[in-house]
Amino acid sequence: MRRVAQCTSGQLQRIVRIFIVAASLLILGLGIIVISRAPEVASTPLGHALEVLLAVFWAARAAAQVSLRSVWPRDAHGSFWYFALLAIYLTVASCYLSALCL
């Protein structure tokens, strides 16, 4: 922890950017695998568990977005991105939930 406290603002920004890119690649990769292998995913217990995990993740992300409304910028640009992201998260969660019904 002491080393983190010694980091400069620029170093911390780089670390955060790296984590964001890594998490984004993981989420995108999981989505690509699930979509490209949909019949396999839907027909196996492991695939079913993966769909449940992803549906819960995106539903939780949508809930987090709703909880951020009070601190989200209220200008036109901020409002657009708030609702655009909320729509994306709800759509993705709905898609995974729909896939569970196949």
Q: Taking the mean position of all CA atoms in its chain, how far away is CA 20? A: 11
pLDDT at 2: 57
User: Using an 8 Å Cβ cutoff, are 75 and 96 in contact?
Assistant: no
Reported pTM = 0.76
Which segments in the chain show pLDDT lower than 70? 1-7
Cα distance between residue 12 and residue 66, in whole Å = 27
pLDDT at 3: 62
